[in-house]
Amino acid sequence: MQHRLIAAGLTAALTVTGGGLAVAAQGGTSKPQRPAAVFQQRLADRLGISESRLRAATKQAATDTVGALRSGGRISAGRAAKLDRRITRAGTAGFATLGPVRRAAPARRAARAALAAALKLDPRQLGPELRSAGSPAKLIASRGADAATVRDAVRQAVRAALDKPVAAGRLTGEQADARATRVAARLTGDRPVGAGRAKPGG
């Protein structure tokens, strides 16, 4: 093992260049490799299999996972189809984000639907109207609605949408209440539409 490590050290060295990784080998330097590609190489080496076999196994495991999530009712048929297309194209899917996205999406839809209803707007008009007004608070004022009433309607809609995660034990009642209040405040407040999206940390 030690001899192999020494030999590997003589034939190649892993160097960090700019924002990526590059492998410097005898006789020249190869093109920079993406960290994900380097990771796959190292993982295949540790498992003692080829990279092509690792990619095939990863792709099949991703497909199996989507099937299990779909059959268990954790994602919709449409979401499953979208993930399957991504797996076919890229060989994997972002399962790490599935849980938060799945829980947040119904609440977000409920919030926007409630806001549109309170302002007597077609839900499809809400986005353009918000952008035109500049902020939710300005849109609410321009529609002659009471801000507190609209906020409470949005809060109740979000809280109702979170009943299922609470019943399943994924959220506590207190967490759901806090999230509903937070979403309602954000969706009816005076923060400019789109603020913070370009620079999330700003």
The reply to whether 54 and 125 lie within a common domain is no
The reply to whether 57 and 78 lie within a common domain is yes
What is the pLDDT at residue 202? 35
Which token pair is 74?
């954790």
The reply to whether 184 and 102 lie within a common domain is yes
- Tell me if 180 is assigned to some domain: yes
Ranges in the chain, pLDDT < 50: 1-27, 96-102, 196-202
The reply to whether 133 and 147 lie within a common domain is yes
The reply to whether 111 and 53 lie within a common domain is no
Helix (H) or strand (E) segment spanning residue 30:
none
Number of helices and strands (H, E) in the chain?
Answer: 10, 3
Per the document, the length of the chain is: 202
What is the pLDDT at residue 95? 62
Contact 86, 96 (CB under 8 A): no
Question: Pick from 17, 42, 13: which is nearest to 32 by CA?
Answer: 17
- Tell me if 21 is assigned to some domain: no
The reply to whether 103 and 137 lie within a common domain is yes
The reply to whether 179 and 153 lie within a common domain is yes
How many domains, in total, are found in the chain?
2
- Tell me if 83 is assigned to some domain: yes
The reply to whether 73 and 111 lie within a common domain is no
Buried b (16+ CB within 10 A) or exposed e, 17-27: eeeebbeeeee
Structural domain boundaries enclosing 142: 98-188
What is the pLDDT at residue 18? 39
What is the pLDDT at residue 29? 55
Alpha-carbon span 119 to 191, nearest angstrom:
18
- Tell me if 115 is assigned to some domain: yes
The reply to whether 125 and 175 lie within a common domain is yes
What's this model's pTM, rounded to 2 decimal places?
A: 0.49
- Tell me if 193 is assigned to some domain: no
